[in-house]
Structure 1
């Protein structure tokens, strides 16, 4: 039982990737105040939690009802993540964005938009995380209590993610605007590699199953 719990925790940690979400969070909130960053972090983790809980409860029924194979879902998610990664690499640098945005106040809708994309989706509630939670709570293989335990492990990983995002403000004060810009470009390359891997794996699995 313990080994199964450890395995599930490792899988959920890998697909949610709390550490990997920090650079994305920094790139999205580098021009915001500390209070605004905390609001974005809370909203992002809250939204991601709701999405993953939805897939935990209804994901299997939804995909089976729509006759959507999991590999196709993975490939689509990888493509979305790749497009975001390319925007991080080739988009406007963070210092330039800060120069334009620091003189403008941000509304609640602006903060909500920053929290939803790309932080909540696809960074925290990634396609891989959605698929993993569906597979780890397969109604044909796992009892209700086992699914409840999996849900608890998922919430634990999300709490760790929130704590890391709260600490990201301290990291930002150390690295500054130039450091944030460098992290954005480097993480864009890493995200592009991860996204391409997900996309190709989804395509491979789709034709293998077919």
Structure 2
């Protein structure tokens, strides 16, 4: 495989992970969850949330497919299901209630646990992110080195997320809830395109595309 194609694949994976994690969309959740938390604890609050989300996503990267296989499910089927769910997730980002608004309501129930829920899950380590990680790391077809590269990309995205949370106080006047919602919807459009591609890839793995007549 040419080197430029490897870089193109890495860029695609990076964009996929960045979109499904949606660091900017988690900012309003952080604002509310830390509203009653002393300012000197905000750094620990952000680190705790990102650390928990990272552990969850890395577990899905390592053992997500093993779980599928233990249940006797084909990876292609999961890829199609994951693509459909990612597409529905994208539609929620575009047309539905904003991710940040919905999860802010969740945070109102118990702000003291906001670092774990809803900031770490499901805001950062969202169901869409978990599915995307599994889809990107096929243990049978993807070499260990490439899976490790995906893990590094995940860590980069989580570092970006942590950086944004640490800069939340400075970004709030610039971005605000409206800006975060606009960016989240743009990311939803990108995610919808990625989801359709995942479904087509799943169909190809299952051999269903070969059954379609030419020109379909």
Q: TM-score normalised by the shorter chain: which range applies?
A: 0.5 to 0.7
* Match of residue 136 from structure 1: 136
- SS of the aligned residue for 2:167 comes to helix
Equivalent pairs counted in the alignment come to 181
How far, CA to CA, are the matches of 1:5 and 1:85 in structure 2? Answer: 29
Higher helix share: 1
* Unpaired segments ≥5 residues, structure 2: 1-5, 207-216
TM, length-normalised to structure 1: 0.66
Q: CA deviation at 1:90?
A: 11
> Bigger shift: 41-50 or 131-140?
131-140
User: For the Cα contact (< 8 Å) 1:25–1:165, is it kept in 2?
Assistant: yes
Note the alpha carbon deviations across 1:27-81, whole angstroms, 9 max, x for none. 2222322222222211110000000110000011113323594666775995xx9
* Match of residue 168 from structure 2: 168
* Match of residue 8 from structure 2: 3
| 1:60 equivalenced with 2:65 (yes/no) | yes
How far, CA to CA, are the matches of 1:146 and 1:62 in structure 2? Answer: 20
Q: CA deviation at 1:14?
A: 0.8
* Match of residue 25 from structure 2: 20
How far, CA to CA, are the matches of 1:110 and 1:141 in structure 2? Answer: 43
How far, CA to CA, are the matches of 2:12 and 2:119 in structure 1? Answer: 25
Q: CA deviation at 1:86?
A: 8.8
In structure 2, relative to structure 1, the CA distance for the partners of 1:140 and 1:45 (3 Å cut) is: same
RMSD across aligned C-alpha pairs, in angstroms? 4.1
* Unpaired segments ≥5 residues, structure 1: 98-108
TM, length-normalised to structure 2: 0.64
In structure 2, relative to structure 1, the CA distance for the partners of 1:90 and 1:123 (3 Å cut) is: closer
In structure 2, relative to structure 1, the CA distance for the partners of 1:58 and 1:33 (3 Å cut) is: same
